[in-house]
A and B are shown apart, each in its own frame.
Chain A
Amino acid sequence: GENVEQHPSTLSVQEGDSAVIKCTYSDSASNYFPWYKQELGKRPQLIIDIRSNVGEKKDQRIAVTLNKTAKHFSLHITETQPEDSAVYFCAARYSTGTASKLTFGTGTRLQVTL
């Protein structure tokens, strides 16, 4: 099955700096890679996703890059703000017939300091 590794587990940056979170996946058949943000006590919410036919996607201050050959993908947050502080999860999905299993990384706790 799929295995997703995520690093670092904690990340502290100063407001205005950039933050990068990296994930690797094991199953070359995976073709969908979402990123979720979870604030304390709340549900995870999608912030950006990328499909395997695309190498990079950007949405305002957030970008995701995908390297299919190396099987890794990264989240980049620029001009960080205190409200970016949360736990971020990467995930990978592969489909086998009708099965569609979404596997998550272990999460990165991002702290943006003033």
Chain B
Amino acid sequence: DGGITQSPKYLFRKEGQNVTLSCEQNLNHDAMYWYRQDPGQGLRLIYYSQIVNDFQKGDIAEGYSVSREKKESFPLTVTSAQKNPTAFYLCASSIIHLNTEAFFGQGTRLTVV
């Protein structure tokens, strides 16, 4: 289970508050990804990053922000602009230039009340 770690596993926040989800990897992977998982909708890409200090929007980036100040870390902030933030969030990492698997963290279940 080592390699990519998300914290916390469960997170509760009040509506209107920003919240930051942590993702750390020690696999020396260049690429990191954030996905949102809702029932029946699979994994939808929020943001991804290939190198430090650079990232790209995915398919559902609105209401989210990220940073990539270190290779090992790719935190995701769910802002108050995200209209329906309650979901299961998964972080992943992979090597870029070889088509190899992406490794997932254990996920963070965010509930906004």
Alpha-carbon separation in the docked complex, A105 to B40 (Å): 10
Main secondary structure of the interface of A (DSSP, over half): strand
The smallest C-beta distance from B39 to any residue of chain A, in angstroms, reads 9
Cross-chain contact B42 with A45 (CB below 8 angstroms)? no
Given A99-B56, A106-B41, A106-B42; A93-B99 close (CB under 8 Å): yes
Tell me which residues from 17 to 75 in chain A have a Cβ below 8 Å from any Cβ of chain B. 31-32, 34, 36, 42-46, 49, 51
Cross-chain contact A31 with B99 (CB below 8 angstroms)? yes
Cross-chain contact B56 with A102 (CB below 8 angstroms)? no
Alpha-carbon separation in the docked complex, A45 to B4 (Å): 13
Cross-chain contact A9 with B40 (CB below 8 angstroms)? yes
B79 within 8 Å of A by Cβ? no
28 A-B residue pairs with Cβ-Cβ distance under 8 Å, sorted by A, are: A1-B59, A6-B42, A9-B40, A42-B106, A43-B90, A43-B106, A43-B107, A44-B43, A44-B90, A44-B104, A45-B104, A46-B101, A46-B102, A51-B99, A89-B43, A95-B96, A99-B48, A100-B48, A100-B96, A102-B33, A102-B92, A102-B94, A102-B102, A104-B35, A104-B45, A105-B42, A106-B42, A107-B40
